[in-house]
A and B are shown apart, each in its own frame.
Chain A
Amino acid sequence: MIRITIRIKSVKVCHMKKHKNNSLANRTLWNLKKGESCVITGFDGTLQARYKTRLTELGFRPGAGISCTVAPRMGAPKLYRVANAVYSLEKQIAELVSTENSAA
């Protein structure tokens, strides 16, 4: 019983450490600011399969490099450049795309 508790605590600590060391850890596409780049790592499980497929077809696939070209204020959709095209995504869907630092 005691050992299990220790393990859980250990995992939590590791996770927190990682988060502390890398400011872009657990970030989503929506967190990207104008001029920033990232690499897509996956999609949130709540994203419907057909939208996941469509995003992938548009180039938003795990491993793809993405940059934010325009990030208007007041929650307006942001513009993302993927390959040689630019798409506008609103917060509701951009939040479901996981990313990591492009340097990683």
Chain B
Amino acid sequence: MSKVLLVGSPNSGKSLLFNKLTGLNQKVVNFPGITVGTHSGHSRNNPGLEMVDFPGVYSMHAISGEESIALEALSQALEAGDVSSVVCVVDSTRLEKGLLFALQLIDFCAGYGKLVVIAANMQDVLRKHKLDFDAKGLSEAIKMPVVALSGKTGEGIDELESLLARPPIDADVGSASSVLDPNIIGRDDNAFRSDAEQLSRQFGPKGDLLLKTHSRADAFFLSSVTGGVSFFLIMYFLFQSIFTWAAPVMDGVEGSLLWLSSHILPHVSNRVVHDFLDGAIFGGLGAFLVFVPQIFVLTLMVGMLEDSGYLSRAAVICHRPLRAFGLTGKSFIPMLSGVACAIPGIYAARTIESPRRRWLTYLAIPLMPCSARLPVYALLISAFIPAQTVLGGWVGLQGLAMFGIYLLGIFAGLLVTALVSFTMEDEVDDSPFVLEMPPYRMPSWLPLLRGAWERSRHFVTKAGPVIFWVTMAVWFLGYFPNYGADLGESWLGTMGHIIEPVFAPLGLDWKYGVAILASFLAREVFVGTLGALFGIEGAQDNVISLSQQVQASGLQISSCVALLVFFAIAAQCVSTLSILAKESGSWKLPAQMFVGYSLLAYVSALGAYQLIEWLS
């Protein structure tokens, strides 16, 4: 099995090309630096070839951790000796930038006796704007194969595949440097820059139609007035959509579960099995599944923003405000990724060159309102906020409440980073903010839908087993020894009463205490645990019933707010803490965060509870 390495500048469309070549669904984002590790897959049409997608780098001189990792991995792959071809992906609409790196790469690979195939991507964009690209002329000039293609439409992919399928193009060469243009090999960077400029002018697209179009959009999205308003509206629309768009599908899932339970339960004669299916499966696991459509919508909306090219503009808008909290505009993307899941957010923080600001971003990400918190928020909001709209139907109260609780998480993250930044010593080597603005693009809906589906599936398959076993344990401990006759007298009830004093100051009884403790494995376990507990007590098997059961349990609005505040701040995710330990190089930071955020969550929840009690 031989390898084909896909390398190139950030945002040159490597991942899109990788997906076309492999048929896989690697995340594609219109933002520089989103591929943060190597990904590999077998070529769809040449199964003997393994395609490896590398993170984007601007040059062979790394200045960020992400670039160092990419270049080190590239060197290791070339040294391993099983590489058949190196494909350098360049964005044809920004040829000069891509060619500078391509020339450096050609020089670098010559040291390993490897030729480089230039994949001139984004031909569909050039064609749309009637711009020309001379692949043949460029190929003759640099004495390297140049394939004009589009990772989006598939144009030119066949030509690239047939080129890669041939016996290694440098097999009979011995040393690539012997056939390479001596004008390219061994030159310094200044010469490469001049060459890239000249080659781009000679063979690249003429005119600046694309840039003029983007400038008009930038003038709108980055203006002091329209930029701020549009940013707020886009973010608001994002959170409103979680409720409004997901509602019909949630109703569908809920109806399906009800239909299933009504058709299965009457046929189960054994009482214990009947109660187990009713309480643990339909009550516990079922309650969790109902929220999956919301995760799908959230991922889809975040993906749409990423694909459109707007995120880089949002980073520019946020830069100055985030600076006040010790962060940078580049922290915005990891933080927004953290809204879907903290783990990709932590990986995305590698793009922040400044160690200080990267470290502060790590602190903020676990406080972002991730999708695992969504089921908890949705349950509590649907239990206490009516599903009504105001302002002529434009504003949904539940969506507004969701927006508010999301803002609370973001505010908590900023507050923590500001406090820590204030107490930290100034860093001498503080990297400045330099960010490439990718072109605006219409989102590619099919990959986005696939990505949202994959994310939802991953969420269910990852959280599902944990929720299943915790729900089993909770149901078992809550059902026995009295066969569900009295939950308070069960084994779980006995244990719950022991920990009840910890949660009593928040107005929460032992059942909520047990659910909170279980949620330290994973936040979403909270809903499943409550579902199982209320299931044992005879609740219906659907989420609306669960929210009604939450209301009927005597939970006050003050305790509901305390719960929301607690979940907004507490760092209850083992996976996130593990990844953080890996990225920061030790368990010190995650351990401090776990203890610190847990205490902060409890104290803040207590404060919120006392405040509402005092006001009412």
Q: Do A and B bind each other?
A: yes
How many angstroms between the C-alpha atoms of A27 and B496 in the bound complex? 70
Q: Which of A9-17, A36-44, A57-65 sits within the interface?
A: A57-65
- Verify if B302 is at the interface (C-beta below 8 Å from A): no
With A54-B63, A79-B222, A84-B200 given, is the CB distance from A59 to B96 under 8 Å? yes
Nearest chain B residue, comparing its CB with the CB of A60: B434
Least Cβ–Cβ distance between A71 and chain B, in angstroms:
9
Looking at the complex, which one of B61, B193, B219, B433 makes contact with A77 (CB distance below 8 Å)? B433
Nearest 10 CB-CB pairs, A to B?
Answer: A93-B432, A90-B433, A86-B437, A73-B224, A83-B96, A88-B435, A57-B59, A69-B215, A85-B94, A70-B222
9 residue pairs of the A-B complex, CB under 8 angstroms, read: A50-B61, A53-B63, A54-B59, A56-B189, A58-B434, A58-B436, A88-B319, A88-B329, A88-B434
- The reply to whether A76 and B218 contact each other, CB–CB distance below 8 Å, is no
Looking at the complex, which one of A56, A72, A84, A88 makes contact with B433 (CB distance below 8 Å)? A88
Least Cβ–Cβ distance between B219 and chain A, in angstroms:
6
Known: A58-B97, A76-B224, A86-B211. 5 other contacts (CB 8 A): A70-B222, A76-B319, A79-B218, A79-B316, A87-B434
How many angstroms between the C-alpha atoms of A56 and B96 in the bound complex? 12
How many angstroms between the C-alpha atoms of A56 and B319 in the bound complex? 23
Looking at the complex, which one of A54, A76, A83 makes contact with B200 (CB distance below 8 Å)? A83
Least Cβ–Cβ distance between A38 and chain B, in angstroms:
17
- The reply to whether A87 and B59 contact each other, CB–CB distance below 8 Å, is no
Least Cβ–Cβ distance between A34 and chain B, in angstroms:
8
**Across-interface contacts of B189 in A (CB, < 8 A):** 53, 56-57
**Across-interface contacts of B316 in A (CB, < 8 A):** 72, 76-77, 79, 88
**Across-interface contacts of A81 in B (CB, < 8 A):** 211, 215
Nearest chain A residue, comparing its CB with the CB of B104: A57
- Verify if B187 is at the interface (C-beta below 8 Å from A): no
Least Cβ–Cβ distance between B187 and chain A, in angstroms:
15
Query: What is the interface of chain A mostly: helix, strand, loop, or mixed?
Result: mixed
Looking at the complex, which one of A84, A86, A90 makes contact with B95 (CB distance below 8 Å)? A84
**Across-interface contacts of A72 in B (CB, < 8 A):** 222-224, 227, 316-317
Chain A residues within 8 Å of chain B by Cβ, number: 31
- The reply to whether A70 and B319 contact each other, CB–CB distance below 8 Å, is no
- The reply to whether A89 and B224 contact each other, CB–CB distance below 8 Å, is no
- Verify if A74 is at the interface (C-beta below 8 Å from B): yes
Least Cβ–Cβ distance between A92 and chain B, in angstroms:
5
Chain B residues within 8 Å of chain A by Cβ, number: 42
With A75-B320, A77-B316, A77-B319 given, is the CB distance from A57 to B433 under 8 Å? no
- Verify if B519 is at the interface (C-beta below 8 Å from A): no
- The reply to whether B437 and A88 contact each other, CB–CB distance below 8 Å, is yes
**Across-interface contacts of B433 in A (CB, < 8 A):** 77, 88-90, 92-93
B residues near A (Cβ < 8 Å) are 58-59, 61, 63, 93-97, 100, 189, 193, 197, 200, 204-205, 208, 210-211, 214-215, 218-219, 222-224, 227, 312, 315-317, 319-320, 329, 429, 431-437
Nearest chain A residue, comparing its CB with the CB of B436: A87
**Across-interface contacts of A59 in B (CB, < 8 A):** 96-97
Least Cβ–Cβ distance between B480 and chain A, in angstroms:
62
- Verify if A25 is at the interface (C-beta below 8 Å from B): no
- The reply to whether B320 and A83 contact each other, CB–CB distance below 8 Å, is no
B59, B189, B208, B437 pick with most chain A CB within 10 angstroms:
B437
Looking at the complex, which one of B58, B200, B434, B436 makes contact with A93 (CB distance below 8 Å)? B434
**Across-interface contacts of A85 in B (CB, < 8 A):** 94, 96-97, 436-437
- Verify if A48 is at the interface (C-beta below 8 Å from B): yes
How many angstroms between the C-alpha atoms of A84 and B205 in the bound complex? 10
How many angstroms between the C-alpha atoms of A56 and B100 in the bound complex? 11
Looking at the complex, which one of B208, B317, B429 makes contact with A84 (CB distance below 8 Å)? B208
How many angstroms between the C-alpha atoms of A78 and B63 in the bound complex? 22
- The reply to whether A54 and B312 contact each other, CB–CB distance below 8 Å, is no
- The reply to whether A69 and B218 contact each other, CB–CB distance below 8 Å, is yes
Nearest chain B residue, comparing its CB with the CB of A89: B434
**Across-interface contacts of B227 in A (CB, < 8 A):** 72
How many angstroms between the C-alpha atoms of A88 and B163 in the bound complex? 38
Least Cβ–Cβ distance between A35 and chain B, in angstroms:
10
A56, A61, A84 pick with most chain B CB within 10 angstroms:
A84
Nearest chain A residue, comparing its CB with the CB of B434: A89
**Across-interface contacts of B431 in A (CB, < 8 A):** 51
**Across-interface contacts of A61 in B (CB, < 8 A):** 193
**Across-interface contacts of B94 in A (CB, < 8 A):** 83-85
Nearest chain A residue, comparing its CB with the CB of B313: A88
- The reply to whether B432 and A51 contact each other, CB–CB distance below 8 Å, is yes
How many angstroms between the C-alpha atoms of A94 and B97 in the bound complex? 20
- The reply to whether B218 and A70 contact each other, CB–CB distance below 8 Å, is yes
